[in-house]
Amino acid sequence: METFRQFLAFPMYASSVWLVWVLSQQAGPQGVFLATMGMVGIAFAIWLLGKRSGQGVKGAVIFVLTALVLAVVFISLFHIGTQKSQTTDIGVTELGEAWSQDRLDELLKGDDPVFVEMTASWCITCKVNHKVALDIPQTKRLFAEKGVQYLVGDWTSYDERITVFLERYGRSGVPLYVFYGARAKNTGKRSEPVVLPQILTPSIVEGVISN
């Protein structure tokens, strides 16, 4: 059991690495630097607490030093939280354009079908969906054949405009996939937009696009 307990620390380490990577998407190199220094500060504070023994002057000094270290850590973390993201490219816009409500409205005035993907760097489901159902030759070919205009919205660091879009379709978070069919030639109107499932497969995408 002791070995198993120690083994379980490694998934926690991996989670920490992933969270730091997510932070790099939101706050850039400065945020990562402050976060890692915060980790060092917390480790140092724990070490100081471990050294504290008795209630004498030595214990008081160590207590004050620990409090100062933790204060610096929390101030740094607060600073990270107030930083505006320096990164907006999440590596998925190569299939289309970055989403904006103005651009979507402009495309909807035309005749082509439009596919909107709302995603975020920290969203595991989003990334899996994109990799297995969207960023594949089959789907790319289908989009090209049907003339689908493709927009990607990045909610990594929270965007009020994207939040409004999500709420419009009854969602409080990502992923969200919405397909606007082509304008009908006989009526000049579009059908109601289709909200795809949060778990995508190539067949689901193909079924919605082809109908």
pLDDT for 91: 43
Per-chain mean pLDDT for the chain: 81
Tell me what the mean pLDDT of segment 197-203 comes to.
96
Q: What b/e readout covers 99-127, taking b as 16+ CB neighbours within 10 angstroms?
A: beeeebeebeeeeebbbbbbbbbbbeebb
pLDDT-based confidence at 65, cuts 50/70/90?
Answer: low
CATH number of this structure's domain 93-210 = 3.40.30.10
pLDDT for 208: 96
Taking the chain, what is the end-to-end CA distance rounded to the nearest angstrom?
56
Tell me what the mean pLDDT of segment 138-144 comes to.
94
pLDDT-based confidence at 114, cuts 50/70/90?
Answer: very high
pLDDT for 81: 53
User: In this predicted structure, which of 119-123, 168-172, 176-180 has the lowest mean pLDDT?
Assistant: 119-123
* Cα three-residue angle 28-30-68, rounded to 5 degrees: 140
- Residue 195 tokens read as 């909200």
CA distances from 52 to 30, 40, 67, 72 (A): 33, 19, 13, 20
149 neighbors 114 (Cβ within 8 angstroms): yes
Considering only CA atoms, which of 97, 101, 75, 82 is closest in space to residue 26?
A: 82
Q: How far apart are CA 30 and CA 27, in angstroms?
A: 7
Tell me the domain boundaries of the chain: 2-81, 93-210
Query: Strands 194-195, 176-180: parallel, antiparallel or unpaired by DSSP?
Result: antiparallel
Helix (H) or strand (E) holding 152, with range, is: strand 149-154
